[in-house]
Amino acid sequence: MTEIAISDAEWQVINVIWDGQPMTSQEIVAELSATTNWAPATVKTMLHRLTKKEVLTFDQQGNRYVYRARVRRSDCVRRECRSFVRKVFSGETSSLLAHFLKSSKLTAEEIQDLRNILDEQEAQS
């Protein structure tokens, strides 16, 4: 079953990796410096832990590592969503949807896109 637990800070790291892999650690550090105040050593720790958790892997080139994800973003997103809806909305996805639909200001275009998804969903049932 291998429960992979990715912490909040680790999510920030692996998000940039999913967006730009393969990446060296200094590229990752550089990217994260835009959104955090983490010391480089902090990022290194995170990379180390994520590697240990088998979320990341790397190819060694000289004395530096080139990281990439070992797990699919979509799988992690799905898992995280599932536990979130369970925790906050008692597992009721429709409540969650209602909440986010109400609380967010969407553009006309986004609204249309969502309508289209609803149409598809309806067609499939």
Partner DNA sequence: TGACATCGTTTACAAGTGTAGTTAATTACA
Partner DNA sequence: TGTAATTAACTACACTTGTAAACGATGTCA
The answer to whether the beta carbons of residues 85 and 96 sit under 8 Å apart is yes
Is 107 a binding residue for DNA by CB under 7 A? The answer is no
Site for DNA in 64-83 (CB under 7 A): 64-65
Is 26 a binding residue for DNA by CB under 7 A? The answer is yes
- Please report how close the Cβ of residue 96 comes to a copy of itself at its closest, in angstroms: 6
**Residue that is written with structure tokens 């536990």 in the block:** 83
Q: How many Å apart are CA 27 and CA 58, to the nearest integer?
A: 14
Question: Taking CB within 5 to 8 Å according to partner kind, which of DNA, a copy of itself, none is near residue 78?
Answer: a copy of itself
- Quickly list DSSP for 64-99: EEEEEESS-HHHHHHHHHHHHHHHHHTT-HHHHHHH
Question: Taking CB within 5 to 8 Å according to partner kind, which of a copy of itself, DNA, none is near residue 42?
Answer: DNA
Q: Which residues bind a copy of itself (CB under 8 A)?
A: 8, 11-12, 15, 77-78, 80-81, 83-85, 87-90, 93-94, 96-108, 110-111, 113-115, 117-118, 121-122, 125
Which member of 1, 34, 63, 125 binds DNA (CB under 7 A)?
A: 63
- Quickly list DSSP for 15-72: HHHHHH-SEEHHHHHHHHHTT----HHHHHHHHHHHHHTTSEEEEEETTEEEEEESS-
Position 69: which residue type?
A
**Interface positions with DNA (CB under 7 A):** 5-10, 24-26, 37-39, 41-42, 44-49, 51, 62-65
